């Protein structure tokens, strides 16, 4: 084993910083990862699903390196040209890279700043609902993706534009017994935030958009057993990526004022407590690899009118677990 793994991440109780001592640069790192893909998957799992790799800036000029590293984490790397992503959000040469940026041609604004912007003790708000936007990537698909890789090409200065991660394994283990009993066997109903079926849209009385079969809300287990380790993790999103018309949970009273809504509030508040959260402040060339099967994450506000931010993401699938065995892809359904 040539990799060095420092755990946990600074200021957090999970995650790790992965490096390759004695070898500089992205090309050497990717070659070493390809030589032992099992080791990479194990380290990600051992760290409860978040690995930070620094010094990967050369990937910005050699995007194929990011694609090669993504393939180490699973057999399928999403080609966004084939999955209906708006063309302005796709890397022009590498269609497996989804570009997150506030500047043209992507022009995607950051999330709103929390109100108030800091907690009573002067810290960055992390806990839901003061912090909004907590989700796991593409949970509105069955089977959902396994792993995401996120590269800081042009980050904003530290203190804004962070990415927050919460440890769904530790949060599940720490659930009070009554909540643990309530989520056992429960399914959440997930939907894209663009479908106008989120809590805010329902409260505002907006008409839900007609959905194609490919956009239909999808059930997901609230407690997911990790397919690599068997460890149980909480798997759900906050307001925007759950269906509040028929959900957020199957079999519980639906809607913003229902039993399901109250339970979602309780679980998300629990999951995003500061002791389960890592705050990543980005430096150019940072690459964060996260496991969507056992973590949730949230983006934070930055001064988009003054600063440019360019990040690249890939999405890796292929090992969602036995619950999804034999299923086709919901988002490609005929």
Catalog residues that contact Fe ion under the rule CB under 5 A.
137
- Residue 303 has a CB neighbour count (10 Å cut-off) of 14
In angstroms, give the least distance from the CB of 297 to Fe ion: 6
Alpha carbons within 13 A on the beta-carbon side of 45: 17
Judged by CB, which is closer to Fe ion: 137, or 291? Answer: 137
CB of 331 to Fe ion, least distance (A): 16
Three-state secondary structure along 284-309? CCCEEEEECCCEEEEECCCCCCCCCC
d(CA 137, CA 303): 24
Least distance to Fe ion from the beta carbon of 242, Å? 15
Nearest to Fe ion of 137, 243 (CB atom): 137
CB 36 within 8 A of CB 69: no
**What's the CA gap between 283 and 333, in Å, rounded?**
40
Find the angle CA(173)-CA(179)-CA(183) to the nearest 5 degrees: 85
- The nearest distance, CB 237 to Fe ion, in angstroms, is 10
Q: 29 or 140: whose CB is closer to Fe ion? A: 140
Residue nearest to Fe ion (CB): 137
The CB-of-140 to Fe ion minimum distance in angstroms stands at 12
Q: Is the dihedral of CA 97, 99, 105, 106 positive or negative?
A: positive
Q: Would strands 50-53 and 16-19 be described as parallel, antiparallel, or unpaired? A: parallel
Pick 145 or 285: Cβ nearer Fe ion:
145
Of the candidates 284, 232, 296, 280, the one whose C-alpha atom is nearest the C-alpha of residue 12 is 280
CB of 157 to Fe ion, least distance (A): 22
DSSP 13-36: SS-EEEE-TT--SHHHHHHHHHH-
Which residue, 74 or 260, is less far from Fe ion as judged by CB? 74
User: What is the C-alpha separation between 223 and 232, in angstroms, rounded?
Assistant: 6
Euclidean distance between CA atoms 232 and 212, whole angstroms: 32
Quote the radius of gyration of the chain (alpha carbons, Å).
19
Decide whether 3 or 241 has the Cβ nearer to Fe ion. Answer: 241
Nearer Cβ to Fe ion, position 20 or 166?
A: 166
CB of 169 to Fe ion, least distance (A): 19
Residue 145 or 247 with smaller CB distance to Fe ion: 145
| Smallest distance, Fe ion to C-beta of residue 148, A | 7
How far apart, in Å, do the first and last CA atoms of the chain sit? Answer: 45
> Do 51 and 15 touch, CB atoms closer than 8 A?
yes
């Amino acid at each position: 084993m040539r990799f060095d793994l420092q755990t946990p991440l600074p200021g957090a109780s999970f995650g790790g910083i992965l490096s390759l001592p004695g070898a500089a640069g992205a090309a050497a790192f990717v070659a070493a990862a390809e030589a032992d893909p099992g080791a990479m998957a194990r380290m990600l799992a051992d760290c409860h699903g978040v690995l930070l790799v620094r010094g990967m800036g050369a990937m910005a000029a050699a995007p194929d390196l990011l694609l090669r590293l993504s393939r180490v984490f699973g057999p399928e790397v999403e080609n966004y040209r084939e999955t209906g992503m708006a063309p302005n959000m796709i890397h022009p040469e590498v269609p497996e890279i989804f570009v997150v940026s506030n500047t043209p041609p992507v022009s995607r604004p950051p999330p709103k700043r929390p109100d108030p912007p800091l907690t009573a003790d002067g810290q960055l708000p992390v806990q839901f609902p003061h912090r909004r936007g907590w989700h796991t990537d593409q949970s509105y698909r069955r089977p959902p993706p396994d792993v995401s890789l996120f590269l800081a090409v042009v980050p904003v200065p530290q203190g804004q534009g962070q990415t927050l991660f919460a440890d769904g394994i530790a949060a599940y283990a720490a659930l009070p017994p009554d909540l643990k009993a309530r989520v056992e066997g429960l399914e959440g109903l997930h939907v894209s935030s663009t479908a106008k079926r989120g809590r805010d849209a329902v409260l505002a009385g907006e008409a839900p958009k007609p959905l194609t079969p490919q956009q239909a809300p999808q059930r997901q287990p609230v407690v997911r057993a990790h397919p690599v380790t068997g460890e149980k993790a909480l798997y759900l999103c906050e307001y925007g990526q759950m269906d509040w018309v028929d959900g957020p949970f199957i079999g519980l009273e639906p809607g913003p004022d229902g039993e399901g809504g109250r339970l979602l509030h309780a679980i998300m508040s629990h999951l995003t407590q500061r002791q389960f959260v890592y705050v990543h402040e980005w430096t150019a060339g940072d690459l964060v690899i996260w496991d969507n099967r056992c973590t949730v994450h949230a983006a934070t506000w930055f001064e988009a009118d003054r600063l440019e931010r360019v990040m690249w993401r890939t999405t890796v699938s292929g090992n969602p677990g036995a619950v999804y065995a034999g299923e086709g892809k919901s988002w490609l359904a005929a």
